[in-house]
Amino acid sequence: MLVLMGVIDAYNSAGFCLIKSKTGLNQRKFVAMASTIPVEQVNKGSPQLTGDSFIREHLRKLSPYQPILPFEFPEYSDFWVLSSRLGRKPEEIVKLDANENPYGPPPEVLEALGNIRFPHIYPDPESCRLRAALAKDSDLESDYILAGCGADELIDLIMRCVLDPGDKIVDCPPTFTMYEFDAAVNGALVIKVPRRADFSLNVESITEVVKQEKPKCIFLTSPNNPDGSIIDDEVLLKILQLPILVVLDEAYIEFSGIESRMRWVKKHENLIVLRTFSKRAGLAGLRVGYGAFPLSMIEYLWRAKQPYNVSVAAEVSACAALQNPTYLENVKEALVKERGRLYGLLKEIPFLRPFPSYSNFILCEVASGMDAKKLKEDLAQMGVMIRHYNNKELKGFVRVSVGKPEHTDTLMKCLKRLP
């Protein structure tokens, strides 16, 4: 029986399940505050209208996305809490929880930012300079490329262009949670086809679900966040043969040693490839992402996007970063080398089981007897931040971003003081 209320199993199979929307009340503080004074007391006799009554029904049921806390504004951040508690400066905290690039951008970026001459003028809505530089960088003509305020914006833009409320997407957890979140914001249904125990895609279940449920698009991530596995050509080609739009998120592709599939959009009308400057160029704070789209599709994304989605600062920074490919290559090499060292060292920790990764992070299973949340909290007490998972797909796991060698050293010292 199919009951479309909250999270339900559409099929009595472990292979996949259908979700109508996220459940749970919106926990934002202002919502709770708005509802503390009964409207009747204030407004006797007149119709009861509170701000949230104007909000679309499916959004009122949506639980908020949990972003990481900001670094630059210490009064709001985990750093402030941690650093003031530990009596250290925020920058002394070892931050290995959000897959940022600890080396930051090439020096040309800060110089270019300091030289911005027209901050009072709106940016180029077509980001022409950046797209020309990306065309060179990716060997794909700029007509196929659209830039955005991070890959995050492009995920939402694609959904806004493709999905009608009630349409379905396929998500393959554990993976980047923004696909599920944006689908819920856009009123779409999420069909989950969980990855296998080794985090590979279950192509048979995906094929079955596409046949039966006719979802509009599937989100694939290579390397996948949080485990770091990649999708090989054979698997990707099989999925591309299905009647579904494939959004391939390559946010971490630079660390994988495999080539980006951006150029594949010339051959596959149902493929979009997303990339970002956040990881490869250390520009997470400036928000620049980009995507490669088939020409038959990109026109509609141009029509639907916000005109000034890439700021002057973001475009200037991304262009400056691309001017120093040697720096980008050296930083990538350093992170890949450090990933190898970190993996070897994590393997020696008796309560951790690290998974091999093609990305700038390593997922670890936390051995029974040791609580993943407690491990994260204990490390935070010592000034090291990592991410922990405790959901249906990943219970008792932690993810550690690859940092500089000194970050690995500090992490290992702290781990050795546990449990």
CA–CA dist 316, 312 (Å, integer): 6
Of the ranges 9-17, 276-284, 303-311, 322-330, which one interacts with ligand PLP (CB under 6 A)? 276-284
Would you count residue 221 as binding ligand PLP (CB under 6 A)?
yes
Would you count residue 176 as binding ligand PLP (CB under 6 A)?
yes
CA triple 156-161-167, angle to 5 deg: 90
Nearer to ligand PLP, 172 or 366 (CB): 172
Closest chain position to ligand PLP (CB): 150
User: In the set 225, 229, 360, 401, which binds ligand PLP (CB under 6 A)?
Assistant: 225
Would you count residue 284 as binding ligand PLP (CB under 6 A)?
yes
Nearer to ligand PLP, 223 or 414 (CB): 223
Nearest Cα residue to 359 out of 249, 244, 195, 236: 249
- Least spacing, CB of residue 301 vs ligand PLP, in Å: 16
CA–CA dist 226, 387 (Å, integer): 10
Residues 50 and 39: beta-carbon distance below 8 Å = yes
Nearer to ligand PLP, 21 or 175 (CB): 175
Nearer to ligand PLP, 99 or 205 (CB): 99
Length of the chain: 419
Nearest Cα residue to 220 out of 272, 262, 185: 272
- Interacting residues with ligand PLP between 57 and 76 (CB under 6 A): none
Which residue reads 């554990």 in tokens?
174
Nearer to ligand PLP, 20 or 150 (CB): 150
- Interacting residues with ligand PLP between 226 and 255 (CB under 6 A): 249, 251
- Least spacing, CB of residue 289 vs ligand PLP, in Å: 4
Of the ranges 127-135, 150-158, 197-205, 265-273, which one interacts with ligand PLP (CB under 6 A)? 150-158
Site residues for ligand PLP per CB under 6 A: 99, 150-152, 176, 221, 225, 249, 251, 276, 278, 284, 289
